[in-house]
């Protein structure tokens, strides 16, 4: 974990040096001074809506997951568990080192809902592949349907092809696993140490398979897909509003492409908040659309702030409501990752 954090810090430091060789801090400050406060406020509020929609989508996916104990209607904390776990996950991704938020939210949900950790991780893996496939689909809609100012850089289209291929392969692989993994470790009839190890492996695979129940329920999978499409369309609209708050008329295609590129870039190791990666990717992506480097950097800072502003207080409050703490989850994370 420490090694990954140091790698992220190094990458962010290099990118920040490269970025501020091209962007003057004074110009970024001037962009903020002349920005439309209402546009920025709307963009910040829209990110709370987007995050809440992600919680609603995860709830749809989790409802397909077998739960050994039905939630108690009188347990108020349990009713908020999906929301609290998701916001803590984003808190971990944006604020804590090494981007262990996804594992953290999985542990939190697993502990409170009493379901296997591997089952919860399977639902998040499904979401990630679905996000990637949807973003690539929106990218090609922007390229083929919406107006573009000029030909996009080769690295953008190449990245879309690679990510799209990986996303489709990932979803197909999960679909196959949901059907071909053994339903129970009891199917292993081999005795001795080898059989014991195999039963442990199959037991983990079985719980992972149960997390992919959504892929065996077409209606649920379609609902999750609809939520995903709505999430990323609204995210692109918020980017459009945010950039235009800095006095730039951005094409809708630019907002969609920036959303896709920045979402993929932020997954790379970096300092907390995607420092360096998100601004750099935004500057490169919006340059063909005539957005100045200072305006693109300022808009990127607003987008990052819009997420951090919500996930820090709501993520920490969610931990308090669920009766746990960052120290307890850190101990669980260390136990899992060690």
Q: What is the Cα Rg of the chain in Å?
A: 21
Among 229, 242, 6, which Cα is nearest to 135's?
A: 229
The residue that leads in pLDDT, 208 or 194, is 208
**How far is the C-alpha of 314 from the C-alpha of 317, rounded, in Å?**
5
Q: Is 4 helix (H, G, I), strand (E, B) or coil?
A: helix
Residue 203 maps to a domain: no
Check residue 305 and give its pLDDT: 87
Torsion sign across C-alpha atoms 42, 47, 50, 55: negative
107-153 residue pLDDT tens: 999 988 989 999 999 999 999 999 999 999 999 999 888 888 777 77
Residue 292 maps to a domain: yes
Residue 206 maps to a domain: no
| Residue 99: pLDDT over 80 | no
Average pLDDT over residues 86-109: 81
DSSP assignment letter at 152? P
Among 40, 57, 41, which Cα is nearest to 232's?
A: 57
The residue that leads in pLDDT, 121 or 198, is 121
Give, to the nearest 10 degrees, the angle between helix 192-210 and helix 117-144: 50
23-48 residue pLDDT tens: 677 888 888 899 999 999 999 999 99
Q: Is 271 helix (H, G, I), strand (E, B) or coil?
A: strand
Kindly report the backbone phi and psi dihedral angles of residue 271, in degrees, each rounded to the nearest multiple of 5, phi listed first.
-70, 165
Among 3-17, 180-194, 278-292, the range with the most confident prediction by mean pLDDT is: 278-292
Give, to the nearest 10 degrees, the angle between helix 37-63 and helix 81-94: 120
Residue 72 maps to a domain: yes
Residue 223 maps to a domain: yes
pLDDT band at 271 (very low <50, low <70, confident <90, very high): very low
Check residue 200 and give its pLDDT: 57
Residue 331 structural domain: 2-19+35-161+217-337
Distances (CA, A) of 334 to 2, 95, 112, 269: 11, 17, 19, 19
Average pLDDT over residues 193-216: 72
Check residue 39 and give its pLDDT: 94
Among 253, 242, 241, 236, which Cα is nearest to 305's?
A: 242
The structure tokens listed for 19 are: 């970025």
Residue 183 maps to a domain: no
Check residue 183 and give its pLDDT: 59
**How far is the C-alpha of 239 from the C-alpha of 125, rounded, in Å?**
25
Among 95-99, 200-204, 225-229, 300-304, the range with the most confident prediction by mean pLDDT is: 225-229
pLDDT band at 270 (very low <50, low <70, confident <90, very high): very low
Check residue 98 and give its pLDDT: 52
161-174 residue pLDDT tens: 999 999 999 999 99
Residue 196 maps to a domain: no
Residues 6+ apart with CB under 8 A from 3: none
Check residue 11 and give its pLDDT: 47
**How far is the C-alpha of 198 from the C-alpha of 187, rounded, in Å?**
10
Q: How far is CA 302 from the centre of its chain?
A: 18
Structural domains counted in the chain? 1
Residue 225 maps to a domain: yes
Average pLDDT over residues 45-65: 95
């Amino acid at each position: 974990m420490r090694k990954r954090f140091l790698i992220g810090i190094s990458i962010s430091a290099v990118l920040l040096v490269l970025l501020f060789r091209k962007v003057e801090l004074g110009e970024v400050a001037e962009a903020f001074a002349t920005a439309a406060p209402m546009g920025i406020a709307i963009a910040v509020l829209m990110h709370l809506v987007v995050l809440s929609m992600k919680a609603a989508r995860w709830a749809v996916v989790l409802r397909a997951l077998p739960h050994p104990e039905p939630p108690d209607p009188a347990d108020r904390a349990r009713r908020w568990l999906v929301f609290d776990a998701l916001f803590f996950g984003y808190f971990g991704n944006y604020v804590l080192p090494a981007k262990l938020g996804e594992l953290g939210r999985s542990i939190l949900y697993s502990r409170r809902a009493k379901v296997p950790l591997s089952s919860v991780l399977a639902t998040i893996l499904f979401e990630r592949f679905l996000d990637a496939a949807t973003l690539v689909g929106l990218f090609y809609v922007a390229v083929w349907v919406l107006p573009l100012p000029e030909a996009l850089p080769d690295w953008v289209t190449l990245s879309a092809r690679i990510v799209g291929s990986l996303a489709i392969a990932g979803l197909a692989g999960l679909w196959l696993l949901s059907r071909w993994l053994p339903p129970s470790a009891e199917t292993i009839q081999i005795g001795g140490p080898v059989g014991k190890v195999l039963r442990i492996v199959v037991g983990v695979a079985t719980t992972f398979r149960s997390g992919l129940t959504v892929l065996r329920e077409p209606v649920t999978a379609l609902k999750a897909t609809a939520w995903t499409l709505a999430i990323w369309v609204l995210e692109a609209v918020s980017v459009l509003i945010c950039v235009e708050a800095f006095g730039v008329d951005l094409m809708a295609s630019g907002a969609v492409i920036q959303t896709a590129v920045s979402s993929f870039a932020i997954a790379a190791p970096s300092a907390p908040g995607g420092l360096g990666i998100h601004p750099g990717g935004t500057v490169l992506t919006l340059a063909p659309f005539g957005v100045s480097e200072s305006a693109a950097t300022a808009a990127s800072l607003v987008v990052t702030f819009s997420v951090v502003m919500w996930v820090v207080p709501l993520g920490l409050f969610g931990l308090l409501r669920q009766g746990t703490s960052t120290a307890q989850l850190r101990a669980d994370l260390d136990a899992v990752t060690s």
